[in-house]
């Protein structure tokens, strides 16, 4: 089945630790996105990538980093500089057919701070 | 800059009653419009989208939405809700090569 997988489903971070969230898609989509979701705040864009080896900051990129070495993979690292990382993180992808194309979402990773 | 406003953060409704979730947007260019649904602890799933043509769009699970360009609105409706419709609903817009811009969501609670 085609789709987007995110792992792990739950992730715990200790103070001062960097953690990496995985996002993989087998939809052959060029564009991939990372969102952070907090209660009552909707979805806020962290980073996005329209092509391999290129990515752009979203609205809340501080404290996060990404890489896009392969078309199907777009991992997100939450660094120790992100002081309030507890949230639900969603990865999405979309084909390059244009803005009318549907953006598909993964099941999410919930990050909790110990 | 583009923005989306979902006018109600929470909407309680009795089972089998009709519901309308309101969405207004702001953009200086033409946009495409989307409604997504999110069930607890899951990702978002597309309900419907408006690209062009008829302003009334039908989606999955019996939902429909009407695009009103003059009022810059894209309200979501269902004539009779079920308990299983309890979820969070997000309105979003898109244009050009930019990422989707989302509203803050409306939590629909269906009461038995």
Contacting residues of A for B41, CB less than 8 Å apart: 88, 108, 110
Q: What is the pLDDT of residue B98?
A: 81
Q: Is B42 an interface residue toward A (CB < 8 Å)?
A: yes
pLDDT at A113: 86
In A, which residues are within 8 Å of B9 by CB distance?
40
pLDDT of residue A101: 85
Mean pLDDT score, B24-47? 94
Are the beta carbons of B29 and B1 closer than 8 angstroms?
no
Position B4 scores a pLDDT of 96
The DSSP secondary structure of chain B, one letter per residue, reads: --EEEES-SEEEEETTS-EEE-EEEE-SS--EEEEEEE-TTS-EEEEEEE-SS-SEEE-GGG-EEEEETTTTEEEEEESS--GGG-EEEEEEEE-TTPPPEE---EEEEEE-
Residues of B in contact with A105 (CB under 8 A): 36, 43-45
- Average pLDDT estimate for B19-36: 95
Can you name the residues that pair with B23 across neighbouring β-strands? B6
pLDDT at A35: 97
Q: Is B70 on the interface with A (CB under 8 A)?
A: no
DSSP 8-state secondary structure symbol assigned to residue A101: S
Query: Is the CB of A43 less than 8 angstroms away from the CB of B102?
Result: yes
B75 — pLDDT class (breaks 50, 70, 90) = very high
| Per-residue pLDDT, A1 | 60
Average pLDDT (B27-48) is 94
- How much is the pLDDT for A55? 96
Quick check: B5 pLDDT over 90? Answer: yes
B44 and A CB contact within 8 Å: yes
pLDDT in tens, A50-108: 999 999 999 999 999 999 999 999 999 999 888 899 999 999 999 887 778 889 999 99
Of B34, B94, B99, the CB nearest to A45: B99
Question: Among B42, B51, B99, whose Cβ lies nearest the Cβ of A100?
Answer: B51
A85 burial via Cβ count (<10 Å: 0-12, 13-18, 19+): buried
Q: Is B9 on the interface with A (CB under 8 A)?
A: yes
What is the pLDDT at residue A53? 95
Minimal C-alpha gap between A3 and chain B (Å): 12
How high does pLDDT run on average in chain B?
95
Q: Which of A42, A45, A102 sits opposite B105 (nearest CB)?
A: A42
- pLDDT over threshold 80, residue B38: yes
Q: What is the band of B1 on the pLDDT scale with cuts at 50, 70, 90?
A: confident
Residue A9: closest C-alpha in chain B: B41
CA distance B2 to chain A (A): 13
């Amino acid at each position: 089945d085609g789709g987007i997988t995110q792992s792990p489903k739950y992730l715990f971070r200790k103070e001062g630790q960097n953690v990496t969230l995985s996002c993989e898609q087998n939809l052959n989509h060029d564009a991939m996105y990372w969102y952070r979701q907090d209660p009552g705040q909707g979805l806020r864009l962290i980073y996005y990538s329209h092509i391999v080896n290129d990515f752009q900051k979203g609205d809340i990129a501080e404290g996060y980093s990404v890489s896009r070495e392969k078309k199907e993979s777009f991992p997100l690292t939450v660094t120790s500089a992100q002081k309030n990382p507890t949230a639900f993180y969603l990865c999405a992808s979309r084909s390059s057919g244009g803005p009318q194309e549907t953006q598909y979402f993964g099941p999410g990773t919930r990050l909790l701070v110990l | 800059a583009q923005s989306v406003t979902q006018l109600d953060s929470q909407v309680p409704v009795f089972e089998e009653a009709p519901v309308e979730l309101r969405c207004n947007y702001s953009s200086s260019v033409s946009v495409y419009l989307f409604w997504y649904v999110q069930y607890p602890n899951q990702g978002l799933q597309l309900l419907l989208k408006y690209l062009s043509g008829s302003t009334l769009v039908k989606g999955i699970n019996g939902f429909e939405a009407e695009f009103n360009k003059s009022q810059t609105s894209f309200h979501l409706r269902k004539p009779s809700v079920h308990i299983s419709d309890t979820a969070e609903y997000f309105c979003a817009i898109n244009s050009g090569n930019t990422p989707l811009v989302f509203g803050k969501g409306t939590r629909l609670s269906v009461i038995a």
